[in-house]
Amino acid sequence: MKRKAYEEHLEKLEIELAGMARWAKATGARVLILFEGRDTAGKGGAIHAISATLNPRQVRVVALPKPSETEKGQWYFQRYVAHLPTAGEIVLFDRSWYNRAGVEKVMGFASEAQVAAFLDEVPRFEKMLTDDGIILVKYWFSCDQAEQEERFAERLADPLKRWKLSPIDLAAREHYADYTAAREAMFAASHTANAPWTMVDFNDQKLGRLTLIRDLLDRLPDTSVPDESIDWPPLGHEPLEESYGRIPPIAPFSKGD
């Protein structure tokens, strides 16, 4: 998709996302969205597209690092529970508890018994969330291996994207089929009536973002809540020029910098 067309469509969706945020605040809804999928599929870009124009005090992004030694000794879901939304909040998980069924399983960071226990427990855990009124939406980002390889190469060549590469990414290149098998086992265990998965094709990232946002907005209740009226009286005098006083501003940026 061409950038101009993408930005035109995204701008319209951003207005609807702002309406969704007003609705959540007005109704006290708790919205929890999980973003899972292939490495390089575009989770970060989709999360940014949703959250960029919304109030960060209401819309939180959770991207947890690897567990600490203390967290490794806890109930597996414990560290995720601390980040669940409260009334009026929208929480976006950039990867979630499904790490156990994906990277931890494929890369051997969790035992077969731990993975089996997770797949047995996760439907019950998510049912507790939805029974308590949390709106849970789970997205899986899909992309072909050839496209994934292209994106890995782009990250390697771009100094602004190199931080996205990790030893896990390098190892994952040889486990594309293993991740597919792990995903299917995960779907079989956790694609439930109260918390189903939604697959989104992200071979075209711009189109994928628009598709995901449209789906998210369509699955939520009517979000038509009017803007709060704000009384904005005139200043009552002419605007004053800035007075710098004791500390002058630094020299402005120039094209030669």
Q: Among the residues of the chain, which ranges form H helices?
A: 3-27, 43-51, 69-72, 78-81, 103-106, 112-131, 145-157, 167-172, 176-190, 205-219
Instruction: Let me know: does 60 contact 119? Beta carbons within 8 Å.
Output: no
Q: Which two tokens stand for residue 56?
A: 């960060």
Instruction: Provide the whole-model pTM.
Output: 0.89
> What's the confidence (pLDDT) of residue 75?
97
Confidence of residue 244 (pLDDT cuts 50, 70, 90): confident
β-bridge pairing 90-94 and 59-62: parallel
> What's the confidence (pLDDT) of residue 229?
78
Alpha-carbon span 81 to 102, nearest angstrom: 19
Beta-ladder partners of 36: 140
> What's the confidence (pLDDT) of residue 56?
96
Give me the residue spans of the domains in the chain. Answer: 3-219
71 contact partners, CB below 8 Å, separation of at least 6: 78, 79
> What's the confidence (pLDDT) of residue 240?
83
> What's the confidence (pLDDT) of residue 169?
80
Instruction: Let me know: does 118 contact 101? Beta carbons within 8 Å.
Output: yes
CATH number, domain 3-219: 3.40.50.300
Q: Which two tokens stand for residue 219?
A: 């699955």
**Share of residues in the chain with pLDDT > 90 (%):** 77
Instruction: Let me know: does 165 contact 152? Beta carbons within 8 Å.
Output: yes
Length of the chain: 257
Residue 96: pLDDT over 90: yes
Residue 231: pLDDT over 90: no
Residue 210: pLDDT over 80: yes
Q: Which two tokens stand for residue 170?
A: 């390098």
Confidence of residue 223 (pLDDT cuts 50, 70, 90): low
Q: Which two tokens stand for residue 155?
A: 């990250």
Q: Report pLDDT digits (tens) over 185-194.
A: 999 999 999 9
Confidence of residue 74 (pLDDT cuts 50, 70, 90): very high
Residue 207: pLDDT over 90: yes
Nearest CA among 108, 130, 125, 122 for reference residue 187: 122
State the CB neighbour count (10 A cutoff) for residue 17.
23
Residue 19: pLDDT over 70: yes
Average pLDDT, the chain: 93
Give how far Cα 145 sits from Cα of 158, 169, 176, 191, Å: 20, 13, 7, 24
